[in-house]
Amino acid sequence: MTLPALLASAEIPPFQGVHAATSAPELSWSGLLLLLPLASMVLCALMAMSRTRTKLPAIVTSVSFLGMFVTVLGLAFRVGDTPVVVHLFEWINFGWTAATPGPERAGEELWRSITANVGFYVDSLTIFWMLFVTGLGTLIAVYASEYMEQDRGVSYSRFFFGMSLFLLSMSALVMADNLVLLYLGWEGVGLASYLLIGYYYKKPAAVAAAKKAFIMNRIGDAGLALGIFLTWVNYGTVEYAPLFAALSDPPSGSGSWIPAAIPFCLMLGAFGKSAQGPLFTWLPDAMEGPTPVSALIHAATMVTAGVYLIARTFPLFAAHPDSLEVVAWIGGGTAFLAATIALAQHDIKRVFAYSTLSQLGYMFLGLGAVSTFGAAYHVFTHAFFKAALFLTAGAVMHGFAGQLDLRKLSGLRHLPGWKIVSWAMFVGCLWLSAFPFTSANFSKDAILEAAFIMDTPSYRFLGWLGLFTAALTAYYSFRVWFRVCCGPVSYSPGEEDHGSDDHHGHDHGSPGGAVRDHAHEPATSAHHGDGHGGGFHPHAPRLAMNLPIILIALGAVLSGIPAYQKLAGGENWAQQMVLHSSAYQGSAMPLAHGDAAVEHVAHPTVLGMNPHLAMMVIGGVAGVLGIAIAWWFHLANRQAAANLRSSLLASPATRWLPILLERKWFVDEIYHAIFGVPAWIASHLLHWFDRHVIDGLLVNGVGRIPPFLGRVFQPLYSGRLQGYAVTMSISVGVILLWALWAWIVGEAPR
């Protein structure tokens, strides 16, 4: 019922199936997308070994990222509507003739193969994704060249090694022509994220966060791996081109549970990478990493890989619409939950981290509501404004010695040198709150609109939840901006630089590094520590940080072009790009065939308006309302916020609310109690069992039998004559007794 409704109402051309892919060996230069980051990875490793203290690693990395961006542009002009497969080299590839046992299958010669090569599947969705991944990657690498400058040395190279590894993996993930190569990229970005979250490895919190991120991702990865195996078991291939070809045939209805399970497995992978639903807890902790990493990996690009996975394998999901409803619920639920937590956080980066979770939730809601365009477009717009927000937060952190508490910063826009940061943050917040006529407004509306178009009670509920969450979003994002950038000027520096104590760790590992370390300590604290005394001067960002901030904020503004095009009645190129790929939502069409209801479905309405208009109006009102409330509590009357909190805490009926929100709904604690503790106990029990029962009782017990037997019989061979005499007499006695008994028994019957 839902899909026909959608298809009837949206202006979607009829489904023609995913275009068959053509092979394009002439495009093999696109292999540069793997070679360039690989080269910069190797160079960074070499520079780490040579202990260079220059900015060379940053330069090499930025140049190679720029090269990738140019390569993607080149590809964009070469690839049309038809997907193109570029084979690079063979990775896992072997085949065999299927055995044909049994008489009924005799004579069949079936060629089976596992083919997972290193190759690219290039269509407009790929290009769309790679454009912002490489573009933002380049800008953020430039930004990081200044942000990380105090770490120049081995750590600086290590940082850019991680960034290159990330882009290498990301391009494998996005460009892959099969699910196994995607899995390679998938785990690769996880590794890059692990290494970069744990960049300040002397901080226990950073190490724990890195481990948590990797493990949570691993759980998702196991789901993805499961999905890949089941895909092969069911369809006999993991390459996109043959897979989509197999899927465009009507489902054969074999009745197996496997095809229905595949989307759920892939979904688990997507939730792990995009920190959704039950697997969300790693992302806020990932903010322990350097801020450029938070901006690039944990906000703009890597975390959207889950959206990419579902968009890319959308035909698999469309074949089982139940799975899409689950995606929608998880997405909508996460969006709401994360937004409520963001209301009560004081750390700027944490607020933005939860807003990322919330926005990712919207994207999954969009996927679940069969609006792949909405989801992908929201990824696109979100990438820019969220990167802008994180980069400005990073600039604040950089300038105020690690200060991120929004209660301790105020009026930044009146400070000299902070204009660019303040207004870029304003753009980010305005876009995040989906203010009318910003690009994020269009992309969020496309998602919510789709939810209302689905026109079932559950989707309608999710739609309203999304609208309510939009108001929350506007409130918490402007809470940050009004607090930090407006109002009277006041600030106090943080305790350390970059939230770390490792900024003088560049020479670690050299013999006597520890000694030199101490020599550095006074110098560094003299440089930054004067803030503690009250004479603190924030150092404003310079060109290498300001330029990317400006460009990314500009990108956020320009990301609205497709939507303005559409408003002007033209072609929406973003929509064209998403829909001319496997993410084409009409691929759900075959299910609608033969459903008589198609023609009779009326367009659903929201409050008497058509959904599109309704979203503009209601979403706009919600956003403005949220901003207004934030203005009242955090600029006009700052005391009111504190009063509200204390009055909530005072009443026993409401005190749970601020506590729950500030403690993040206790999700971490609950997980620890449900999974961590039992597993820990079980492992200790197993270890005890292994040592004392298996090894101690069984193995050593069996081992003790021969000596024990020996000891039993040992007295017999003591060598003493009396002993032998006693033994002999006992034996003779026993034999006599036996003979007697045998005689009696033998006698009795006679």
Residue ranges binding other proteins (CB under 8 A): 89-94, 96-102, 110, 112, 114, 154, 180, 183-184, 187-188, 191, 194, 198, 201-202, 204, 207-208, 210-211, 214-215, 218-219, 221-222, 225-226, 229-230, 232-234, 236, 258, 505, 508-509, 511, 513-514, 679-680, 682-684, 686-687, 690, 694-695, 699, 703
User: From the CB of 701, what's the least distance to other proteins, in Å?
Assistant: 12
Q: Which is nearer to other proteins, 514 or 725 (CB)?
A: 514
Q: CA angle at residue 318 from 312 to 321, to 5 degrees? A: 135
DSSP states along 378-432: HHHHHHHHHHHHHHHHHHHHHHTTT--BTTSEE-GGGSTT-HHHHHHHHHHHHHH
DSSP 97: E
Q: Which is nearer to other proteins, 222 or 657 (CB)?
A: 222
User: From the CB of 208, what's the least distance to other proteins, in Å?
Assistant: 7
Question: Residue 593 class from Cβ within 10 Å (0-12 exposed, 13-18 middle, 19+ buried)?
Answer: exposed
Q: Dmax of the chain from CA atoms?
A: 126
Q: Which is nearer to other proteins, 191 or 657 (CB)?
A: 191
User: From the CB of 31, what's the least distance to other proteins, in Å?
Assistant: 14
Rounded Cα distance between 327 and 318, Å, is: 12
Secondary structure tally for the chain: helices H, strands E: 30, 5
User: From the CB of 422, what's the least distance to other proteins, in Å?
Assistant: 36
Q: Would you give the end-to-end CA distance of the chain in angstroms?
A: 95
Rounded Cα distance between 572 and 565, Å, is: 6
Rounded Cα distance between 363 and 440, Å, is: 12
Q: Which is nearer to other proteins, 112 or 527 (CB)?
A: 112
User: From the CB of 502, what's the least distance to other proteins, in Å?
Assistant: 9
Q: Which is nearer to other proteins, 48 or 424 (CB)?
A: 48
Q: Which is nearer to other proteins, 268 or 549 (CB)?
A: 268
Tokens of 561: 């072009």
User: From the CB of 288, what's the least distance to other proteins, in Å?
Assistant: 12
User: From the CB of 313, what's the least distance to other proteins, in Å?
Assistant: 18
Q: Which is nearer to other proteins, 253 or 594 (CB)?
A: 253
Residue written as tokens 């609950």? 670
Neighbours of 340 (CB within 10 A): 18
User: From the CB of 677, what's the least distance to other proteins, in Å?
Assistant: 13
Rounded Cα distance between 556 and 434, Å, is: 12
The secondary structure of the chain in percent helix, strand, coil, rounded to multiples of 5, reads: 75, 5, 20
Q: Which is nearer to other proteins, 90 or 521 (CB)?
A: 90
Rounded Cα distance between 363 and 226, Å, is: 24
Q: Which is nearer to other proteins, 98 or 640 (CB)?
A: 98
Rounded Cα distance between 80 and 669, Å, is: 50
Can you give the length of the chain in residues? 750
Report how far apart, in Å, the C-alpha atoms of 8 and of each of 13, 14, 42, 452, 457 are: 10, 10, 53, 14, 19
User: From the CB of 293, what's the least distance to other proteins, in Å?
Assistant: 16
Q: Which is nearer to other proteins, 81 or 690 (CB)?
A: 690
User: From the CB of 39, what's the least distance to other proteins, in Å?
Assistant: 15
The H or E element that residue 3 is part of is helix 2-9
Coil, helix or strand at residue 209: helix
Rounded Cα distance between 216 and 190, Å, is: 10
424 with 388: CB under 8 angstroms?
yes
User: From the CB of 42, what's the least distance to other proteins, in Å?
Assistant: 12
Q: Which is nearer to other proteins, 518 or 750 (CB)?
A: 518
> Do β-strands 84-98 and 409-410 pair in parallel, antiparallel, or remain unpaired?
unpaired
Q: Which is nearer to other proteins, 602 or 702 (CB)?
A: 702
Residue written as tokens 């698999």? 316
Rounded Cα distance between 646 and 653, Å, is: 13
Coil, helix or strand at residue 14: coil
User: From the CB of 98, what's the least distance to other proteins, in Å?
Assistant: 2
Q: Which is nearer to other proteins, 112 or 593 (CB)?
A: 112
Rounded Cα distance between 749 and 699, Å, is: 50
User: From the CB of 219, what's the least distance to other proteins, in Å?
Assistant: 6
Nearest residue to 141 (alpha-carbon basis) of 171, 161, 170? 161
